[in-house]
Amino acid sequence: MSHEFDSTVLREYDMRGIIGQTLGADDARAIGRTFGSMLREAGGSKVAVGYDGRVSSPMLDHALVEGLTASGCDVVRIGMGPTPMLYFAEASMPDVDAGIMITGSHNPANYNGFKMVFQGKPFFGQDIQELGRRSAAGEWTDGSGSVETQVMLDAYIDRILESLDGIDREYLSGLKVAWDAGNGSAGPALEKMVAQLPGEHHLLYTEIDGNFPNHHPDPTVEENLDDLKAIVAEKNLDFGIAFDGDGDRIGAIDGEGRVIWGDQLLMIYAEDLLSRDKGATVIADVKASRALFDHVAKHGGKPVMWNTGHSLIKSKMKETGAPLAGEMSGHVFFADTYYGYDDALYAGLRLLAASARLGKSVTQLRSEMPNMLNTPEMRFQVDESRKFAAIDEVKQRLADSPDDVNSTDGVRVTNDDGWWLLRASNTQDVLVARAESDTQEGLDRLMAQIDDQLEKSGLERGPQAGH
């Protein structure tokens, strides 16, 4: 027996596909069989499994568990919930060696996929390619593992609420906050969490609905925050928090309805952290604003720019011992008093805690940030065979540039006008560009430099590609 996956399913950070086209029960069964075999070879035997609110998730859950037990692994089913609840189960249950979350994250309703943790580390990149190779070769162990069910929700909520230990309850009692679950799998956890918070709280779309009837659950797209902005304005609230489809990415707005982007949230978290942990390392991805790196340094921290990708950031945190990291996409990782994974519900509570500890409203914290002019993340289609080659060509042409050229992940060029970035996506056949300046003229010059480099590689900044 063996199984070949559709080539589009084996991605850099997870396995993902379109139900009924590139992903189905046979794929889930083979993932369980192969992942379980790899875990047994590494000396592990027990896997926690959870799933999100998509219509296809229970079917994939059933097949995945079949595959895991057929490899000889025991399974702890934690049921439906946000991805961080699965991460929590894997990190906190003493005899669990790995975890698999069935989730399509922020993708359209007809997608689904698998995020995996293997012996406390993210399972990505070469691990996923190896899983595909072994599955095609039928390199599977045999066995008959057991299955048990464990409810994790209460333990998970209790754990994340610890982030408010020692915080002035009177301050929290005065807060007025809106929360938008976007009909994603964080809804019931959010209801349970907010029920234990002091203050005034308004909840939107906490009912899990895999068809996402109100808006798409991706808080990095500003139009998805319209309902949150409306309720914050109508009820005169202090700020609002939104989650993606599986609860591992956060979005936020302040009391004036201004978006607080991923790197700006990280500025707030860093200021709070560095007030207690001087000299700490803070990691952000190459798409983050210069203002963030300057802010970390100004508050006595050590800023590190690293590759985009939640698995890559988590690995770098383990390597450097950094207590805090984040991405533009809204993944934020806390390892100071938490486990180092991305958890948007926990991040939401840490925003309340930061405001209280710093003695400033979220709106004030947002207002204190420098007004940088930056482009949104621009994504444009390029042939898969050209995307990395084109970036290499840009690097070679800039080898003798007087500008500061950082090639950590693609090319990030800093000069007197600001900075621009060009990188190849690890998950799609697109190039990603971004630029930031203090002035519109500077931004125009930076964009012209991007266009010049693309033209020299026979490409152009053509139609925008979706996520």
Residues that are catalytic? 105
Say how far apart CA 434 and CA 412 lie, in whole Å: 9
Nearest CA-CA partner of 3 in 25, 451, 16, 12:
25
How many Cα atoms are found within 13 Å in the side-chain-facing hemisphere of 292?
29
Please state the φ and ψ torsions of residue 147, each to the nearest 5 degrees.
-130, 130
Indicate the burial class of 342 (C-beta count within 10 angstroms; 0-12, 13-18, 19 or more).
buried
In DSSP notation, 335-371 reads -SSS-SSB-HHHHHHHHHHHHHHHT--HHHHHHTS--
Please state the φ and ψ torsions of residue 311, each to the nearest 5 degrees.
-70, -40
Say how far apart CA 14 and CA 107 lie, in whole Å: 13
Instruction: Look at residue 105 and give its three-state secondary structure.
Output: coil
Residue 348 neighbours by CB under 8 Å, 6+ apart: 179, 241, 243, 250
Q: 247-260 burial by CB neighbour count: b if 16+ within 10 A, else e? A: bbbbbbbbbebbbb
Nearest CA-CA partner of 370 in 437, 426, 444:
437
Residue 121 neighbours by CB under 8 Å, 6+ apart: 314, 315, 318
Neighbours of 200 (CB within 10 A): 14
Distance from CA of residue 150 to its chain's centroid?
A: 25
Type of residue numbered 403 = D
